[in-house]
Chains A and B, each alone.
Chain A
Amino acid sequence: MAKKSDKKITFKKEKEMPPYAISFYSMEFNKTVSWRNFRPIIDYDKCTSCMICWKYCPEAAIDLKKKKAKGKEKLTPVINYEYCKGCGICWEECPVDAIDIEEEAG
């Protein structure tokens, strides 16, 4: 199936609908950003790249990216805000309190 950007699909007729509930596009196009009420923010000055937040994230919304920190390039957790639902698990689990959480505006 062709990958198109996700938009709300409205069926006018029952016959147009598939027999069971499926998404037509992969999660690549099904952003869950609107679900979030709280935004976790990583303080990279405190982050030790232990990757505990990455392991605990139930939505796999934390990616590991190569980043330069203190002159050295290393794998660093980066929150993907297009998918993060703001559950706060990373904020709870971070062993060095490098993750803060803020209420989303609006």
Chain B
Amino acid sequence: MKQVLMGNHALSYGAKVSRAQVISAYPITPQTEVVELLSKMCASGELKAKFIKVESEHSAMAALIGASATGVRTFTATSSQGLAHMHEMLHWAAGARTPIVMGNVNRAFAPPWSVWTEQNDSLSQRDTGWMQLYAQNNQEVLDSVIQAYKVAETFDLPAMVILAAFVLSHTSETVEIPKQEKVDEFLPPYEREYKLDTDQPHAFGGLADPDNYFELRYKIQKAMEKAAVKWEEVGEEFEEIFGRKYGLVETYKVSDAKNLIVSSATIASTARNAVDALRSKGIKVGLLRIRVFRPFPAKQIRAILNSVDKAIVIDRNIGFGASGIFYQEVKAAMYNEKNTPPIFGVVTGLGGRDVSSKDIIEIYQSVIREEEPKSDIIWKGLKE
């Protein structure tokens, strides 16, 4: 069934058709509608889930870690300050190997207060052991929640489905809500090996001495590596049932591309228009959209970047004291490659400043003239 949905409600419907069993969340702009709709669904019985109201995001995540440890499917959503407040529990969720799925609406950090989009909130959680997926439209938001459960529950790793504040969260688009029986066919109920269960009591998350801790961290990394393969398989399986294909990355007109634009989330979807406009002038440019950021799709990125002359990474985030964060990661993935092209790093659109197709064309045309990058950051759209 097709409906006109804002990105936030696409998250809610994603959780609903995935049959989330425990939902715990605290409202924060611009995420509020996600849990508002879910709490309504729980109250009306439309969704048979336990909705736990809490006093903070830290508690929301803590509640879900406990719930997930009993072997049920869990969901929450947050944004920005709320995600930062969860930080300690994010490490806990990953260490406890609880496959929680969370929606995060990318919103800039305070101060100064902002409710507009920027990726620093989720990227600050890069090393917590959560998988991260940056969606480009509302359909992908909904579809990614379903896929995230499948990957997360295969490896007992938590996953974050990330969408841009307002650009997706409050923008209405046509979204196909998959039929329940088809989602059930795709996504079986969650099975957990060791459960929090009064009939078989175990203590969870206790002390691991240096004799044991190391291997548990190794296991998270190995699970991440396997998850990188699984995301691709799940994307193909999803296409067979629902007709929409997904992978770790998405490419657009790269087969004959001389130069490449690399970006993520909604800047990447806008960049498609820029690529079309540039190609209409005979410029051979392609687009690489990094959809899944953790596990990092280094293999897919290498396969494409090895065959282009130059690449421009556009970041709506900044690693202060260094450069754009996707830029750092792409460069690191390419460093030991034989045919590494010059890679340029653009930082733009912080705090939700609009990045239009025209802006991306200007970024491409001005940056591509350079032989090689003169600095780690090329600022664009800044009042200099």
Contact = CB atoms under 8 A, between A and B. Distances in A.
Interface of A: 1, 10-11, 14, 17-24, 26-27, 30
Given A11-B212, A18-B194, A19-B193, A27 B203 contact: yes
Nearest first, the 5 A-B pairs at minimum CB distance are A23-B203, A26-B201, A14-B215, A20-B97, A22-B202
Given A23-B203, A26-B201, A27-B201, A18 B212 contact: no
A1 B195 CA distance: 12
Contact of B212 (A1, A17, A24, A26): A17
Interface of B: 95-97, 156, 193-194, 200-208, 211-212, 215-216, 218-219, 223
B339 to A, nearest CB: 36
Nearest to A1: B200
A22 B203 contact: yes
Most chain B Cβ neighbours within 10 Å, of A10, A14, A19, A23: A19
Contact of A17 (B156, B203, B215): B215
Given A17-B212, A20-B97, A20-B194, A26 B218 contact: no
B203 A14 contact: no
A85 to B, nearest CB: 14
Contacts of A26: 201-202
Contacts of A14: 215, 218-219
A21 B215 CA distance: 11
Given A21-B95, A21-B96, A22-B205, 17 more contacts: A11-B212, A11-B215, A14-B215, A14-B218, A17-B215, A20-B194, A20-B205, A20-B216, A21-B206, A22-B204, A23-B202, A23-B204, A23-B206, A24-B202, A26-B201, A27-B203, A30-B203
B198 to A, nearest CB: 10
Given A26-B201, A26-B202, A30-B203, A20 B215 contact: no
Contacts of A22: 194, 202-206
A26 B204 CA distance: 11
